[in-house]
Structures are given as C-alpha cells and as structure tokens.
Amino acid sequence: MILTIDVGNTNINFAVYDGDEEKVFYSLTTQVARTPDEFFVWISDLMGVKNISGSELGDAIISSVVPQINNALSEAVSRITGKQPLQVGPGLKTGIKVKLANPREVGADRIVDLVAAHDIYGGPAMVIDFGTAITYDLLEEDGTFRYGLTCPGIRIAANALWNDTAKLPEIELALPDSILANDTISSMQAGLLYGCIGQTEYIIRRVKEEAGIASMKVIATGGLGRIIADATPMIDIYDRKLTMKGLVGIYRRNS
C-alpha cells in the first residue's frame, strides 16, 4: 500500500491505496504552523480508524504547492513509513511533456491532475481544477501540456465580496434555483456561482475554438467542482479524486 498526500492552499488531502483501491481518504485544513509531531499524529490516527498501520505502507508520495509545510510533513511521513517520501517536482517521471514558457513555475498539483487525466481518460482533454484558484489546463493527445489559464477561485471571489464591502454578509456557497435573485444572499450566490458557470462555459468554448480541438474531453475536479459540473453540459466528467489517482500514477512510474 502507498500513502498519497496532496497539499493545497486550502486543504491537505491524504489517501492510502492498495493497488487501485482506495482504502482511506481524509482532508485537513491547511495550516503552515504545524509540527512534524502534529502531522504524524493526524495521519497515524486517521489511518488507525481503518485499522491501517504505518508498517503496512510500502512508500509515500507528496504533491505540495505550500513549500513552508514540506519539511515538517516529509519528516512525519518518513517516521510513519520508514522511508523518505517521493516529492512531485523536477526529476520525476510523469509522462507529461510540459511545453510552457516556464515549466518550473507550474504547480505540482496541475501536473498531477494531468497525469491522471491522461492515464484514465486520454487526450485531448481540458482539466479544470476548482480549487483556491481555478485552473484550466489543455492536454494534447500525446500528453503535451502547452496552454493553461488561471482564475480566482470561487471562495477568493466570495471572500472579496464580504470582506471588502460593508453590508454584504458571509454566505453559504450554494447554487440558487434561479439566476433571477430578489434578496441579498441569493443575489450573491447567483452572481458567484452562475458567474463561474458562465466563465467556465466561455473558456471551454474559446479554447476549443482557438486550439481547433472540438472533441476534447472536459474533466473537472476540486472541492466546488461538483456544483459547476452538475450545472453545465460542457463538463463531461467530475472526478473528485483526480489528484490522488495522479499521485498513484506518478509513484508507479518512479518506483
């Protein structure tokens, strides 16, 4: 079994896989000021809920976009598995050919998502990650990653509304039944969620048009991706565990 960990700006997700079978999945709010002991207890205790011990783990792989966490987390994982975990970054085999202007600036999570998309769904494809930021990445048929867009995430936009305006309240991010809002809360929900749906549909159409790839699959992931995917026919697949599956794929290429 292997331990897979994805460190994002909002959440840290971890899973244990036995082959392709997911045995454990948990999520923790990302906090920079955590010690190796805290990570060790958190991961060990949650694995224990499923009666899995560190001695059963063959190895571990970590993808992180929060560098301040990496050393403490890596130390904790080493104590659990008895091995130094793989870290997604330059030097690991991924099967993805990154042809961006500055490949080293690309977040590890984006590469991991593309690995899973290519392994499971094939190409050409667009991977949309509705995370802290919303990323739209175009994967060519042969696994080349040449183009990508980055937009503010829904929570970033929502936080700007209620933090930077005097009278707008903090609200639940839920899709109202109609875009025809007639109160403050539903007007904010409609603006945020239907606005994101409109953005998503426009970007998908425009990318298909400019890239000349009308038949590409559109795959969504990320915490709020389900809401958007359910509201538009332009997203073909929603896969919440896409990143974890990509980590398994990268581990197998490098083990």
What sign does the CA torsion over 28, 33, 36, 38 have?
negative
Q: Which CATH superfamily is domain 97-241 in?
A: ATPase, nucleotide binding domain (3.30.420.40)
Find where tokens 């559109």 sit.
Answer: 218
Q: Which among 37, 45, 59, 109 is annotated as catalytic?
A: 109
Q: Which CATH superfamily is domain 2-87 in?
A: ATPase, nucleotide binding domain (3.30.420.40)
Nearest CA among 77, 71, 93, 94 for reference residue 16 = 77
What are the CA-CA distances from residue 202 to residues 44, 136, 205, 206, 207 (Å)?
44, 12, 5, 6, 9
pLDDT in 10s for each residue of the chain, 255 residues? 999 999 988 889 999 999 889 998 988 888 877 899 999 998 898 888 888 888 888 899 999 999 999 999 999 999 999 989 999 988 889 999 999 888 888 889 999 999 999 999 998 999 999 998 999 999 999 999 999 999 999 999 999 988 888 888 888 899 999 999 999 999 999 999 999 999 999 999 999 999 999 889 999 999 889 999 999 999 999 999 999 999 999 999 998
* Active site annotation includes 129: no
In DSSP terms, 144 is beta-bridged to 97
CATH 3.30.420.40 residue ranges for the chain: 2-87, 97-241
What is the length of the chain?
A: 255
DSSP 85: P
pTM (two decimals): 0.90
The tokens describing 71, both together, are 């050393």
